[in-house]
């Protein structure tokens, strides 16, 4: 089996927005409590944050983290999370049928984000609340002082504003599971009016309108058209969400799901262009893929908690344990984002710790990296610069929902200032190596400096507390650079990150 790839340094798709590799932390499950925050943990710092988790987050280096939800935000009162901690109310969270202590609020999350070296991306509640709560929250977070809400922030111990630039206008407002679900016209109007008020405060903030909860919703994609018809001139991004499952345990179909991501991006790109033309607008709206990941391993187990009569505190829900095949799919999805980086500027893997997450913890115990940590780590570290256009000639196979899928999944990024070309490669073939012939043109000298690979004999192997390193990258081999070409064999069902020095 052979594949040919050609790329040239001048054939650029787009500069990659560093926010393509973002994360997400929602008040649900053990994401916050016993995830990032556990005052009794042996590694807890003076603020109660787990330093073992902070170390892993810093390694992953998400440029920003979306907070506080998710479904949680649609009935959240942000004021519950400010002021003296012993006076904060305990609430019943209707989204996840859990008890919320509010021991973490905006101040604590901001402190954690600073320690983690990441930016905040905040969501406002457009489910149970609306314009007023949103503008007050923005004033609290971003105004220097001399107004009621900003002075309240100062009184609560934070003198400087946080200057958060990126704001989500609600979450999944088309979903019947959402508190305060709305029709497209209702939501579009509310998003426009809320966005108008928020931008009246500061024109430089960026706003994300809710797209469909997924491309299988009945109202997709007319939801996006109606919403953008209302708020195109006010918002900067439309959100896409997608979660992947493998209930049928069909490897070929599973690894083909990234092609559905591609079609989803192309379709919504078309909707954006249609509304832009309809409005004779000069402004461009981009895609914010602010929830994506594999989510199905834990679903059956979680039913009990979510449908039960209790209101547990930080129950262990959505704790998917990821295997090698999940990591391969994640590698393909990240490649898709890079290849579509002209449309997708921001993306957040959902989520970051414990809840469908690359980082897992035991309460009182260990923290470790799941298999899916690694493709995100390589992309976030090395997928910065210009995404390069590739001419790919690969053998294909037939997948159930998407038709022909190439065995070779590849993306390429040129970091001009650092002097690197990085290739991310997945061979989807179940048992055949791929003989790869890649022409890398427009560079005087190329040297293969680093080759890391993820592979293994057991696709269902996972990392666990006692065995945190069953799946981890190892130095790759079998691919060589000669002048302007990269040649060699790519093992079946393997992921690769190749770093080439250009000078």
**Mind telling me the catalytic residues?**
172, 291
Q: Is the bond into 379 cis (omega within 30 degrees of 0)?
A: no
Left (φ > 0), alpha (ψ -120 to 50) or beta: where does 442 sit? Answer: left
CB 160 within 8 A of CB 111: no
Among residues 334, 285, 345, 417, the alpha carbon closest in space to that of 18 is found at: 345
How does DSSP classify residue 236? S
User: What is the C-alpha separation between 95 and 156, in angstroms, rounded?
Assistant: 28
> In the set 34, 71, 125, 438, which binds ligand AHR (CB under 6 A)?
71
Stretch that binds ligand AHR, among 69-77, 257-265, 410-418, 431-439 (CB under 6 A): 69-77
Indicate whether 70 belongs to the interface with ligand AHR (CB under 6 A): yes
When the beta carbons of 26 and 262 are compared against ligand AHR, the nearer one is: 26
- Report the nearest approach of ligand AHR to the CB of residue 107 (Å): 22
Smallest distance from ligand AHR to CB 73, Å: 8
Strands 119-124 and 64-67: parallel
Question: Is residue 224 within the footprint of ligand AHR (CB under 6 A)?
Answer: no
Q: Write down the least CB distance from residue 241 to ligand AHR, Å.
A: 6
DSSP β-bridge partners for residue 500: 421, 448
Among 68-76, 122-130, 435-443, 472-480, the segment contacting ligand AHR (CB under 6 A): 68-76
Cβ atoms of 430 and 251 within 8 Å: the answer is: yes
Which residue has the CB atom at the shortest distance from ligand AHR? 70
174 near ligand AHR, rule: CB under 6 A? no
Looking at the Cβ atoms of 41 and 182, the one nearer to ligand AHR is: 182
| 194 near ligand AHR, rule: CB under 6 A | no
From CA 379, how far away is CA 451, in angstroms rounded?
Answer: 14
Q: How far apart are CA 245 and CA 252, in angstroms?
A: 13
- List the one residue from 260, 351, 452, 502 that touches ligand AHR (CB under 6 A): 351
Instruction: Report d(CA 123, CA 137) in Å as an integer.
Output: 10
Tell me how many residues contact ligand AHR (CB under 6 A).
9
In this structure, how many other beta carbons lie within 10 angstroms of the beta carbon of residue 434?
A: 23
Per rule CB under 6 A, is residue 171 in the interface with ligand AHR?
yes
Pairing relationship of beta strands 91-93 and 2-15 according to DSSP bridges: unpaired
- 22 lies in the binding site for ligand AHR (CB under 6 A): no
Contact flag: residue 394 with ligand AHR (CB under 6 A) = no
Q: Does 26 bind ligand AHR (CB under 6 A)?
A: yes
Query: What does DSSP assign to residue 352?
Result: S
**What is the Cα–Cα distance from 390 to 437, expressed in whole angstroms?**
13
Which of 408, 494, 410, 407 minimizes the C-alpha distance to 454? 494
Find the radius of gyration of the CA atoms of the chain.
23
Q: Which stretch binds ligand AHR (CB under 6 A): 49-57, 64-72, 148-156, 451-459?
A: 64-72
β 119-124/166-169 pair status: parallel
- Decide if residue 354 touches ligand AHR (CB under 6 A): no
> What mask of x and - would describe binding to ligand AHR in positions 252 to 291, judged by CB under 6 A?
---------------------------------------x
Min dist. Cβ of residue 306 to ligand AHR (A)? 11
Which of 116, 350, 462, 500 is in the footprint of ligand AHR by CB under 6 A?
Answer: 350
Given 35, 69, 170, 195, the residue binding ligand AHR (CB under 6 A): 69
Least distance in angstroms from the C-beta of 322 to ligand AHR: 15
Residue closer to ligand AHR, measured from CB, 69 or 315: 69
Does 23 sit near ligand AHR (CB under 6 A)? no
Query: What is the contact mask toward ligand AHR in residues 442 to 481, using x (rule: CB under 6 A)?
Result: ----------------------------------------
Is 172 a binding residue for ligand AHR by CB under 6 A? The answer is yes
Q: Which residues neighbour 470 within 8 Å (Cβ) at sequence distance 6 or greater? A: 456, 461, 462, 463, 464
347 beta partners = 289
What is the smallest separation between the CB atom of 63 and ligand AHR, expressed in angstroms? 19
The residue (of 194 and 351) whose beta carbon lies closer to ligand AHR is: 351
Structure tokens at 219: 């109202």
257-278 vs 222-231: helix crossing angle, rounded to 10: 40
CB of 473 to ligand AHR, least distance (A): 26
Q: Which residues touch 415 (CB under 8 Å, ≥6 apart)?
A: 382, 384, 385, 386, 421, 422
Rank residues 318 and 454 by Cβ distance to ligand AHR and give the closer one: 318
Q: Which of residues 287-316 bind ligand AHR (CB under 6 A)?
A: 291
- Per CB under 6 A, does 35 bind ligand AHR? no
The mark string for 228-257 relative to ligand AHR (x by CB under 6 A, - otherwise) is ------------------------------
CA-wise closest residue to 123 among 193, 71, 176: 71
- Calculate the CA dihedral of residues 271, 276, 277, 281 and round it to 10 degrees: 180
Q: Reduced to 3 states, what is the DSSP secondary structure of residue 52?
A: helix
For ligand AHR, the binding residues (CB under 6 A) are 26, 69-71, 171-172, 291, 350-351
């Amino acid at each position: 089996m052979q594949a040919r790839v050609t790329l040239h340094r001048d054939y650029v798709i787009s500069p990659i927005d560093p926010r393509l590799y973002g994360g997400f932390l929602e008040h649900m499950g053990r994401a916050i409590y016993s995830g990032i925050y556990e005052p009794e943990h042996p590694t807890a710092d003076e603020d109660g944050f787990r330093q073992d988790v902070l170390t892993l987050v810093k390694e992953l280096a998400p440029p920003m983290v979306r907070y506080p939800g998710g479904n949680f935000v649609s009935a959240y009162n942000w004021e519950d999370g400010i002021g003296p901690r012993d006076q904060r109310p305990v609430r019943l969270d209707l989204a996840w049928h859990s008890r919320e202590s509010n021991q973490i609020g905006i101040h604590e999350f901001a402190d954690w984000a600073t320690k983690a070296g990441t930016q905040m991306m905040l969501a406002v509640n457009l489910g149970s609340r609306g314009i007023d709560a949103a503008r007050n929250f923005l004033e609290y977070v971003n105004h220097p002082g001399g107004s009621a809400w900003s002075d309240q922030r100062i009184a609560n111990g934070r003198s400087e504003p946080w200057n958060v630039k990126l704001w989500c206008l609600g979450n999944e407002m088309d979903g019947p599971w959402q508190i305060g679900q709305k029709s497209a016209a209702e939501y579009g109007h509310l998003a426009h009016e809320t966005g108008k008020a928020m931008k009246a405060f500061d024109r430089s903030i960026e706003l994300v309108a809710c797209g469909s909860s997924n491309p299988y919703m009945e109202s997709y994609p007319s939801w996006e058209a109606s919403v953008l018809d209302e708020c195109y001139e006010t918002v900067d991004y439309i959100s896409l969400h997608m979660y992947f499952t493998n209930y049928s345990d069909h490897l070929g179909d599973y690894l083909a799901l990234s092609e559905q991501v591609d079609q989803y991006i192309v379709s919504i790109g078309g909707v954006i262009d249609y509304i832009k033309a309809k409005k004779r607008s000069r402004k461009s709206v981009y895609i914010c893929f602010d929830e994506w990941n594999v989510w199905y391993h834990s679903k059956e187990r979680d039913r009990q908690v979510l449908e039960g009569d209790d209101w547990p505190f930080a129950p262990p829900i959505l704790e998917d344990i990821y295997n090698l095949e999940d990591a391969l799919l994640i590698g393909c999805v990240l490649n898709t984002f890079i290849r579509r980086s002209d449309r997708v500027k921001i993306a957040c893997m959902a989520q970051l710790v414990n809840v469908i997450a690359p980082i897992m913890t035991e309460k009182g115990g260990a923290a470790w990296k799941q298999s899916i940590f690694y493709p995100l780590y390589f992309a976030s570290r090395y997928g910065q610069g210009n995404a390069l256009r590739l001419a790919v000639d690969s053998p294909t196979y037939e997948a159930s929902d998407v038709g022909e899928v190439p065995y070779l999944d590849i993306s390429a990024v040129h970091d001009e200032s650092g002097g690197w070309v990085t290739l991310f490669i997945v061979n989807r073939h179940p048992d055949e190596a791929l003989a790869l012939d890649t022409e890398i043109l427009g560079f005087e000298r190329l040297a293969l400096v680093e080759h890391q690979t993820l592979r293994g004999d057991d696709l269902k192997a996972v990392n666990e507390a006692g065995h945190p390193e069953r799946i981890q990258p190892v130095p790759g081999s079998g691919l060589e650079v000669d002048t302007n070409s990269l040649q060699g064999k790519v093992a079946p069902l393997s992921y690769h990150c190749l770093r080439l020095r250009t000078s």
